[in-house]
Amino acid sequence: MRIILLGSPGAGKGTLAEDIVKKHPVAHISTGDIFRENVKKETPLGVKARAYMDSGGLVPDELVLAMMENRLLEPDCAKGFILDGFPRTIPQAEALDAKLAELGLKLDGAVLLDIDDDTVIRRLSGRRVCRKCGAIYNLFFRPSSKGDICERCGGELYQRDDDREEVVRNRLKVYYEQTAPLVEHYEKKGSLRRIRAEREGRSETLLEELERSMGVSR
């Protein structure tokens, strides 16, 4: 299974990717996670990427492509991969097309998780994380019954820097300017599938709908 997950920040790509890898023997490749890990360890790549990430902008293509150059050759990708947050620009998509052609690999498809901007803003700007145990709450959808204290461990809840509303709005703007054109790129290739990211009123989970639309239920 080789899938690209597309969709604005907050659409739920990471959660869906986690659900996929619990059931299918494929690698979850999140460029955002790789960058966050590098920022935490203060590697040269992390130091360069940090300023772009903090403002909600994109890390330059050459850094992203250098980091991804040999990723698909690693052993965990032997049975496939889920790309989450990559590609994010047309040059990245073209570089990925060339890489897949070079390796003789075919994509099963690019899946767009469709979601309204208002929902994204409330999902991300309302998110609060416990400093102590990492539990995640949401002021709008899943508030802590103890206000800004974690129900589970009593830790303090805080807001991630890139979840501040002005940063979220910038991430959305960047998405529409630089990443949304990928929808047409994959539509033209005939490999695009669209799934509503909100589940209200739907009986299937996101994972079930994805498996059905890709014909990969196992």
What residues are annotated to the active site?
13, 88, 127, 160, 171
Q: Please, which residue, 53 or 207, has the CB nearer to ligand AMP?
A: 53
Cβ–Cβ < 8 Å for 179, 6:
yes
Site for ligand AMP in 107-136 (CB under 6 A): none
Beta-strand relationship, 109-114 and 157-158: unpaired
Q: Please, which residue, 52 or 155, has the CB nearer to ligand AMP?
A: 52
Q: Is residue 35 at the binding interface for ligand AMP, with CB under 6 A as the rule? A: yes
Q: How far is the CB of 115 from ligand AMP (least distance, A)?
A: 14
Residue of this chain nearest to ligand AMP (CB atom)? 32
CA distances from 80 to 27, 95, 134, 173 (A): 6, 18, 30, 31
First to last CA, the chain: 11
Q: Among 58, 95, 110, 115, which residue interacts with ligand AMP (rule: CB under 6 A)?
A: 58
Q: Is residue 32 at the binding interface for ligand AMP, with CB under 6 A as the rule? A: yes
Beta strands in 106-152 (DSSP E): 109-114, 127-130, 136-138
Say which DSSP state 175 is in. I
Q: Among 81, 86, 137, 186, which residue interacts with ligand AMP (rule: CB under 6 A)?
A: 86
Q: Among 59, 93, 111, 172, which residue interacts with ligand AMP (rule: CB under 6 A)?
A: 59
Q: Is residue 171 at the binding interface for ligand AMP, with CB under 6 A as the rule? A: yes
Q: How far is the CB of 201 from ligand AMP (least distance, A)?
A: 27
User: Maximum distance among all alpha carbons in the chain?
Assistant: 54
In three-state form (DSSP H/G/I as H, E/B as E, the rest C), the secondary structure along 101-114 is: HHHCCCCCEEEEEE
Q: Among 4, 6, 64, 111, which residue interacts with ligand AMP (rule: CB under 6 A)?
A: 64
CA distances from 212 to 69, 85, 191 (A): 31, 22, 15
Contact residues toward ligand AMP (CB under 6 A) are 9, 31-32, 35, 52-53, 56-59, 64, 85-86, 88, 92, 171
